[in-house]
Amino acid sequence: MRFRNALLLCSLAATVVLAGCSQTTSTTGPAPEGQKIATNQIFSGGYGAVEDHGYAVPAIPINRVDSRFHRQIVDYPTKERPGTIVVNTPNRFLYYVLPGGKAVRYGIGVGKAGFAWEGEAYVAWKQEWPTWHPPKEMAERKPEVAKYVEGGMGPGISNPLGARALYLFNDEGRDTLFRLHGTPEWASIGTAASSGCIRLMNQDIIDLYSRVRPGKGAKVVVQQ
């Protein structure tokens, strides 16, 4: 009898412990229903030739680009909500924040000395195969581009904005004149060579463009 009572007490104690574990586990809570957490991976095979809206985007010799700058999904714990774009200028990375502490990371080219900038903005609008209008200040430095200030350079493979452009505005709704855009100059990724805008390989800007929905919610944070 004593043995049976002792066994019963042990069973009750075990039940309490298990119940406690279940309660502790449940405080973390399951992932929100329907939310998919991306798996870390690298997309080095995503830089082949692309036919896009009638334009032939050439393949990139991606083996000649440092693998750090290949598009990939990485761990990225941040307080910024999914959909935010974070530009890490010193490390030449752009992060598109995903749920679950992940992000899509792209290699970028950044502004050279004297053209760097930092702060917050948002993607007000975006354009496929944009027309390039260099600012007057650039035309003063480079007279050969002055003819494009008014009429602009039409879209094409040699256009400095590449296959896509995202236009950044400040909280007051004013154009910052800074862009996230493609570039035909894939070798400039990982360097500081632009006039302040953030450039991505054309295959990468096409991918980023497809993820971004313009508006105040499309926050962009530029870090120096």
Q: Which residues are catalytic?
A: 181, 197
Buried b (16+ CB within 10 A) or exposed e, 106-145: bbbbbbeeeeebeeebbbbebeebbebbbeeeebeeeeeb
Tokens for 67, please give them.
Answer: 């693998």
